[in-house]
A and B are shown apart, each in its own frame.
Chain A
């Protein structure tokens, strides 16, 4: 017998989150016990906000917003080209190539960049050989490396939903638009973009949410400068073994993600409302029409 959907939702989503929220009000009693909840307080939140990791959170938000935007900017033209210009046979091959990195563990993929970007690695060597740089390029352990790493790691999550919506978009839509006098730019803005909106939203959420919580990319490529909130939260759980503080930080991270999504969501809704109002046509009153 099928369980009601809310049971599923409760077990796999709500309960774990509620547990984290509950822990965030606890404290760490001694070094051998990561959490105690016999006394509940906001102490962990106070501690969380009083520390340098507020910096890390704002840096994380920057990295994830820039990273998500870059993913969209790179993925959209690619997905559009793939859906509209590439023959179905090559489309499969190219989509396969997009997905191939996913067959490799996330960590290993990221470690690959460690080799590519190291000062003794191929990127740096090539730049030096071509005389574009006189010294080894120190790309690793910078924020830029993390930015690059997250774009690489999450790009496919943007490409796939975009491709699916753009592929489903009847080419006749664009032709109809051009036929009615809109040039390519106007067609893109008035037809392709609004019709691809569900895919764009899906891609943005699919990339932004895990990217904001990512810690592997920052841990491997970031060094001291490319720190991200995920690393901070993880180290409270694994190194400091202070689950209360870690949980409080996790709750703040979740709130930050939801807040950002809400702000952008409201922004998008406002834009859509403006577009709709500007598009609205007032018809002159019609005499009662014969059927």
Chain B
């Protein structure tokens, strides 16, 4: 269990603590009602040819750029900056789950009008198979070379043919030490405490992948299993766990203290938001999953049939610029995989960097999910767990 750096917590600004991290603060499709679409840049439209063009040989940029994106996932100032520097006016429609986004793209059959979509890694192979994504011309993204090689050439997209790392993270927990005295070091501890000391005051992520991970990691099973016996055991466990759960909450971080949870299952970036907001951070502890845990990566991709491909390339290149990337990281709290980002962040005295950057030993315990034949069953097991929790 790692304690947040005491020196850094004073640097946490209230403003950044209130910010909403990855995928907005509320789960489910409610977000759609909330955000719908947000026009981020109202800058006067420059003529396509008049825009400054940083990617050398590429043709003229279109004057617009359409995102299909998670809500509140990038610093809005960066979109403005992009428009100011390069011209295209950005417009964002939001989705709330990968499945949700993919269904819409499938239904549109290349006429969605979106340029950039940001899927999580394991979803990419089937999206490619369904011809939803364009093959990338990496020569149009010179800043691609800024990425650490460890975050390129991922198993779901060899050679980055269709995607470029946006950011990545992992999953763990926050504990209120005033409520919970048992130390939690592993997922097994997490489950034990959740079913005993923290029972009725636990939040689990409102995401089937991560909940499934808790069980498989705690029991030393590969979480990409398709073994029916494993899935049956998982299903039985969800029904055991369900009554102890107070809420399925995707972003418990900054509400953790306010809602008075004892133990929350949480993504690292959101946990960091929580620590930025706590009045007394020493009361709380953050833990990263062990012995194994997740590595998820969200990726920039260009939609098949994108009406503004050149602007899309320009944006991806723009966001991979180390300065812009640092600014974005400060907003969402996830590692963007840019070489030297950690040092730059430390130099900028960004707080709680141990919740953003992980050493190679930790990294070795993190594993990506894969979408396989068990997927639909896993989703239904999870939804049924939620139903059982209310019974």
Contacts and interface: CB of A to CB of B under 8 A. Distances in A.
Contacts of B29: 234, 237-238
A242 B386 CA distance: 16
Contacts of B34: 107
Interface string B354-391: 00000000000000000100011001100111111111
Interface string A188-231: 00000000000000000000000000001001101111110001
B246 A224 contact: yes
B371 A31 contact: yes
Contacts of B61: none
Interface stretch (B15-23, B38-46, B96-104, B167-175): B96-104
Contacts of A226: 390
Interface centre among B208, B245, B247 (most CB of A within 10 A): B247
A-B pairs, 4 with minimum CB distance: A227-B390, A223-B247, A55-B391, A224-B389
A79 B106 CA distance: 51
Contact of B383 (A59, A105, A220, A235): A235
Interface in B24-46: 26-30, 33-34
A252 B16 CA distance: 45
Task: Bin the interface of chain B by size.
Answer: 35 or more
A149 to B, nearest CB: 14
Contact of B246 (A120, A216, A223, A238): A223
Interface of B: 26-30, 33-34, 96-97, 99-100, 102-103, 106, 126, 130, 201, 203, 208, 239, 242, 245-249, 255, 257-260, 371, 375-376, 379-380, 383-391
Contacts of A32: 102-103, 106, 126, 130
B28 A231 contact: yes
Contacts of B33: 105-107, 216
B259 A141 contact: yes
B181 to A, nearest CB: 17
Contact of A239 (B249, B371, B379): B379
A241 B375 CA distance: 12
A256 interface: no
Contacts of B389: 224-225, 227
B372 to A, nearest CB: 10
Interface string A16-47: 00000000000010011110000000000001
A279 interface: no
Nearest to B105: A32
Nearest to B388: A52
A143 B257 CA distance: 21
A114 to B, nearest CB: 9
Interface residues of A, number: 45
A220 B26 contact: yes
A108 B184 CA distance: 36
12 contacts: A31-B99, A52-B384, A52-B388, A56-B391, A223-B246, A223-B249, A224-B386, A225-B389, A231-B28, A238-B96, A239-B28, A242-B380
Contact of B391 (A52, A138, A231): A52
A182 interface: no
A73 interface: no
A263 interface: no
A125 B143 CA distance: 52
Contact of B390 (A28, A56, A216): A56
A107 B97 CA distance: 19
B28 A236 contact: no
Contact of B258 (A28, A118, A231, A241): A118
Contacts of B260: 118-120, 136, 138
A143 B239 CA distance: 19
A219 B391 contact: no
B239 to A, nearest CB: 8
Nearest to B391: A55
B103 A34 contact: yes
Contact of A51 (B30, B242, B247, B387): B387
A31 B30 CA distance: 22
B258 A33 contact: no
A240 B387 contact: no
B30 A107 contact: yes
A238 B97 contact: yes
A118 B383 contact: no
A240 B376 contact: yes
B375 to A, nearest CB: 6
A113 interface: no
Given A136-B260, A224-B242, A52 B26 contact: no
A288 B99 CA distance: 81
